[in-house]
Amino acid sequence: MNKLNTYRAGVDDDGHFGIYGGRYVAETLMPLILAVDKAWNEAKDDDDFWAEFNHYMKHYVGRPSPLYLATRLTEHLGGAKIYFKRDELNHTGAHKINNTIGQILLARRMGKRRIIAETGAGQHGVAAATVCALFGLPCIVYMGETDVERQAPNVFRMKLLGAEVRPVTSGTGTLKDAMNEALRDWVSNVEDTFYIIGTAAGPHPYPSMVRDFQCIIGNEVRNQIQEAEGRLPDSLVACLGGGSNAIGLFHPFLDDEDVRIIGVEAAGHGVETGQHCASLTGGRPGVLHGNRTYLLQTEDGQILDGHSISAGLDYPGIGPEHSWLRDTGRAEYVSVTDEEALEAFQLCTRMEGIIPALEPSHALAHVAKIAPDLSNDHIMVMNMCGRGDKDIFTVARHLGVGVNEE
């Protein structure tokens, strides 16, 4: 492939990153998607929109989140200098709120009065319910029945925030079905509804819009690392489910050729077992949920369910821009198993006093693999995109420890 002048120009006007992305939706939705696109194009060129966004980022979310040198972990691993971007310190405990603030400001601009969202682990559902409470809008969250059971604390959190959680039993009752159900709701409530998609995927303009909101992560890192080290990092590491935290960290560095970029997918029980969520490692390009991207699927084009210990990574697809970055070779994508993530979870907790979510525990596991072989002046930034309080019951179960969930 010819070398590109920039990796940051995407998307094109029709919503493609190379062959990925696009707008594969039913005609009933198409006019709505075009309306979101138009509103977003106006908003993103409007300084007032960003001023409002930045206001909430600072005073409500608590940004900028710190860039923290993990000293003990660095010493323990004995190689690269490891920094955590502390997005787990955001209000609601993850990076998801960056996106929901952005999208609800757009929904308000468009005069929409009803919000719908899908959620897997419940982090995006909580972030959507939070901004709906903040602006006094009704919020309906679609969540797979299986996830409703295994993520009870987040379900209760959403309800406390005033959201209605609708368990999804269709299909296999997981995140992909929750997204199907949200699309069915949208098609049935076209007049007043705005769909806040939780990751950098879906029909154009969602992948690039969500990325632009999450880029606050990478933009802050650029400033913070300059301040701390006087130069850019040598490598970036982030976990991917749909890939919104990763693209938010990566995108501002795409044109800095010397920065190595690594995305970490969930290998579940191991990619070779078929029980995983590593779309880029173990999937192939296909079309689902409005975009072309790498998908876990059968030979007949039927979508498969993923498996991961982390409900937040449990999605059979991936944001289309990651598919493109993979094919162009600008970013590398690796995978980490449930077991490795659990080990990294415990390592970080004991070593740094930070309980990471199981999602960034995957990124951390990869950091632990490669950092020892890198030199002491190699600067590595890992996105600590969520905190692990929500995961303690899952971890306890896997460690064979009894914890009362009631």
User: Which phi-psi region, left, alpha or beta, contains residue 269 (left: φ > 0; alpha: ψ -120 to 50)?
Assistant: alpha
Please state the closest distance from residue 301 (CB atom) to another protein, in A: 3
Name the token pair of 152: 């009870």
Omega into 205 within 30° of 0, i.e. cis?
yes
Three-class SS state of 342: helix
Binding to another protein in span 267-286, by CB under 8 A: 284, 286
**Residue number, 272 or 299, with CB nearest to another protein:** 299
Give how many residues touch another protein by CB under 8 A: 36
171 is a site residue for another protein (CB under 8 A): yes
- Is 112 a binding residue for another protein by CB under 8 A? The answer is no
173 binds another protein (CB under 8 A): no
Single residue of 2, 5, 6, 188 touching another protein by CB under 8 A: 188
**Tokens 């098609």, residue?**
187
Contact predicate 141/129, CB 8 Å: yes
| Closest by Cα among 193, 75, 176 to 128 | 193
Query: Using CB under 8 A, which of 4, 9, 30, 401 touches another protein?
Result: 30
Does residue 39 interact with another protein by CB under 8 A? no
Q: Which stretch binds another protein (CB under 8 A): 48-56, 184-192, 356-364, 372-380?
A: 184-192
* Cis omega (within 30 of 0) for bond into 320: no
> In angstroms, what is the minimal distance from the CB of 190 to another protein?
5
Q: Which stretch binds another protein (CB under 8 A): 24-32, 101-109, 111-119, 146-154?
A: 24-32
Q: Rounded CA gap, 255 and 48, in Å? A: 28
Nearest to 36 by CA among 243, 242, 197: 197
| β-strands 16-17, 20-24 pairing | antiparallel
Question: Considering the rule CB under 8 A, would residue 177 count as an interface residue with another protein?
Answer: yes
Identify the three-state secondary structure at position 330: coil
Q: Which one of the spans 130-138, 227-235, 288-296, 327-335 is the region binding another protein (CB under 8 A)?
A: 288-296
Told to check if 4 binds another protein by CB under 8 A, we report no
Three-class SS of 176-192 = HHHHHHHHHHHHHCCCC
* Binding-residue pattern over the window 289 to 318 for another protein, x denoting contact by CB under 8 A: xx----x-x-xxxxx---------------
Q: Which residue, 216 or 288, is less far from another protein as judged by CB?
A: 288
Nearest to 246 by CA among 374, 116, 381: 381
Cβ at position 262, least distance to another protein in Å: 29
Alpha-carbon distance of 238 to 84, in angstroms, equals: 10
Interface with another protein by CB under 8 A: which residues?
14, 22-32, 170-171, 176-177, 180, 183-184, 187-190, 284, 286-290, 295, 297, 299-303
